[in-house]
Amino acid sequence: MSDPGLACCTPLSGTAMSADQAEQVAPLLKALADPVRLRLVSLIASSTTGEACVCDLNDAFDLTQATISHHLKVLHSAGVLDREKRGVWVYYAVRPEALAAVASLFQAPALTPA
């Protein structure tokens, strides 16, 4: 606590992000803040069909199928990936809204200095 008569700086005006906003966006960031999950999203997004099945994603990593499945579940729960089962295989596709939300977040005035 600083003495009000001896302020060290201007008292933080402007419209900052609310605590609720931060609590809401943080899980999305946290889901993407992992190198494996970033590559998973990138692999799916860069696929020619815009989607990918788990078997091919497994081959792209030196990780267990259980681990890849776990990461896909995290991304799906966070709203980054869509999940669709067709026959024996499961296909994941990226949700552009989720990525756009993150992109716009770091261009919003609340996070971009003047």
Partner DNA sequence: ACAGGACATCGACGGGCGTCGATGTCTGAA
Partner DNA sequence: TTCAGACATCGACGCCCGTCGATGTCCTGT
The C-alpha atoms of residue 24 and residue 101 are separated, in whole angstroms, by 12
Question: Binding residue for DNA (CB under 7 A) from 25, 28, 45, 54?
Answer: 54
Judged by CB under 8 A, does residue 78 bind its own copies?
no
Tell me the per-residue interface mask from 14 to 53 with DNA, x by CB under 7 A, - otherwise. Answer: ----------------x--xx-xx---------------x
Compute the C-alpha angle 61/67/70, nearest 5°.
Answer: 125
Nearest to 108 by CA among 14, 43, 31, 39: 14
Judged by CB under 7 A, does residue 90 bind DNA?
yes
Enter the tokens of residue 45.
């997004």
Nearest to 99 by CA among 84, 81, 113: 81
Question: Binding residue for its own copies (CB under 8 A) from 5, 35, 85, 97?
Answer: 35
For binding to DNA (CB under 7 A), which residues are involved?
Answer: 1-3, 8, 30, 33-34, 36-37, 53-55, 58, 62-74, 83, 87-90
